[in-house]
């Protein structure tokens, strides 16, 4: 059997279960990777953005991985506490959006390209502000280091120490801050159906802390997940805007609005 990422996670879970200690660190990951003879990147082990990427042992026992910071992680009971299923898009939430692409719009297939496309075509403006003529400020991908805060996973108290987070995109207008996570689907027929809440929660909490400490004059914070499904004549794009009813609890995620934009060179369904 090939020693892949799922196999390594299973070995880590077995180790934690035998020792009755579900906290583990990067040193243990590196040791297990080395001992197994795997070529897998040890620093990629805990980056699991979709439920389907969890190994069978975690799915069977209903465990997911929570991040603590300072190179530490924890197996937490309750996959639904860490992963959120996207809400369905209704027919009245589908918008046709004709456009004339620039030479670069359909060239790049990177994750950031979908964010650039939707900002340049003013889809974000329409979705968030219902005003394509407005002028929000855009801040490109950022990596923040040394982040520290306490939070909860339901009734489980957690604490981040020396955490590193990545923010794909931030836009701001009139004190309203929205952080973005952007993804491309692997094919043109299936949507991503769930995501790891940390992808939105960590950037959300970063700005929430700045607001609470009066370091920035922020009126409102939300987090937006944006997915592109590439088509022969353009793209279908889904946007989901979320908040956290209790900013200290990662499980309190709540959808504010959602919409699908069919960004096509011709106004048709193909």
- pLDDT tens digits for 20-32? 999 999 999 999 9
Indicate whether 121 and 68 sit together in one domain. no
Q: Helix/strand/coil (H, E, C) string of 224-242?
A: EEEEEEEECCEEEEEEEEE
Q: Is residue 37 part of a domain?
A: yes
Count structural domains, the chain.
Answer: 2
Q: Which two tokens stand for residue 19?
A: 């020792």
Encode pLDDT of 151-198 as tens digits.
Answer: 999 988 888 888 888 999 999 999 999 999 999 988 777 899 999 999
Residue 83's SS3 state is strand
> Do 133 and 70 reside in the same domain of the chain?
no
Q: How many CB atoms lie within 10 A of CB 266?
A: 10
Average pLDDT for residues 258-263, to the nearest whole number?
96
Helix segments in the chain, DSSP class H: 5-18, 26-36, 56-61, 111-120, 123-129, 198-212
Among candidate residues 101, 105, 56, 108, the one with its CA nearest the CA of residue 79: 56
Are both 77 and 168 inside the same structural domain? no
**Is residue 105 predicted with pLDDT exceeding 90?**
no
**24 and 100, same structural domain?**
no
Same-domain status, 120 and 237 = yes
Count the Cβ atoms, other than its own, within 10 Å of residue 156: 16
Structural domain of residue 28, as residue ranges?
5-81
Among 54, 81, 108, the domain-final residue is 81
Q: Which residue has the higher pLDDT, 148 or 39?
A: 148
pLDDT at residue 240 tops 50? yes
* End residue of a domain, out of 19, 48, 81: 81
Q: Is residue 269 part of a domain?
A: no
- What is the CA angle 114-86-13, rounded to 5? 100
Q: Are residues 100 and 229 in the same domain?
A: yes
Q: Kindly state whether residues 124 and 245 are assigned to the same domain.
A: yes
Query: 172 and 69 in one domain?
Result: no
| Residue-level pLDDT at 270 | 47
Considering the domain boundaries, does residue 9 fall inside one? Answer: yes
Q: What is the mean pLDDT of residues 200-213?
A: 95
Does 251 lie in the same domain as 126?
A: yes
**In the β-sheet with 94-98, what is the strand arrangement from edge to edge?**
94-98, 253-264, 234-244, 220-231, 176-184, 169-173, 137-139
Residues 70 and 198 in one domain: no
Q: Are residues 143 and 198 in the same domain?
A: yes
Position 43 scores a pLDDT of 80
pLDDT of residue 2: 59
The secondary structure of residue 57, as a DSSP letter, is: H
């Amino acid at each position: 059997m090939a020693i892949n990422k799922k196999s390594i996670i299973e070995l880590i879970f077995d180790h934690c279960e035998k020792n009755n200690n579900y906290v583990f660190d990067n040193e243990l990951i590196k040791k297990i990777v080395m001992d197994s003879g795997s070529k897998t990147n040890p620093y990629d082990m805990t980056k699991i953005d979709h439920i389907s990427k969890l190994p069978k042992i975690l799915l069977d026992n209903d465990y997911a991985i929570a991040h603590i910071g300072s190179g530490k992680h924890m197996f937490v009971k309750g996959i639904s506490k860490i992963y959120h299923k996207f809400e369905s898009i209704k027919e009245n939430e589908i918008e046709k959006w004709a456009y004339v692409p620039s030479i670069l719009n359909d060239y790049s297939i990177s994750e950031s390209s979908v964010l650039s496309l939707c900002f340049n075509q003013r889809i974000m403006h329409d979705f968030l502000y219902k005003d394509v003529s407005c002028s929000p400020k855009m801040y490109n991908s950022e990596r923040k280091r040394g982040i520290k805060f306490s939070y909860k996973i339901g009734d489980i108290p957690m604490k981040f120490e020396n955490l590193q987070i990545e923010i794909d995109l931030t836009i701001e207008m009139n004190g309203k801050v929205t952080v973005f996570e952007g993804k491309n689907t692997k094919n043109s027929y299936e949507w991503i159906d769930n995501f790891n809440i940390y992808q939105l929660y960590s950037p959300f909490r970063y700005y929430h802390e700045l607001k609470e400490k009066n370091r920035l004059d922020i009126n409102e914070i939300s987090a937006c997940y944006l997915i592109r499904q590439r088509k022969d004549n353009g793209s279908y794009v889904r946007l989901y805007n979320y908040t956290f009813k209790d900013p200290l609890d990662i499980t309190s995620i709540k959808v504010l609005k959602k919409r699908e934009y069919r960004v096509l060179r011709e106004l048709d369904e193909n």
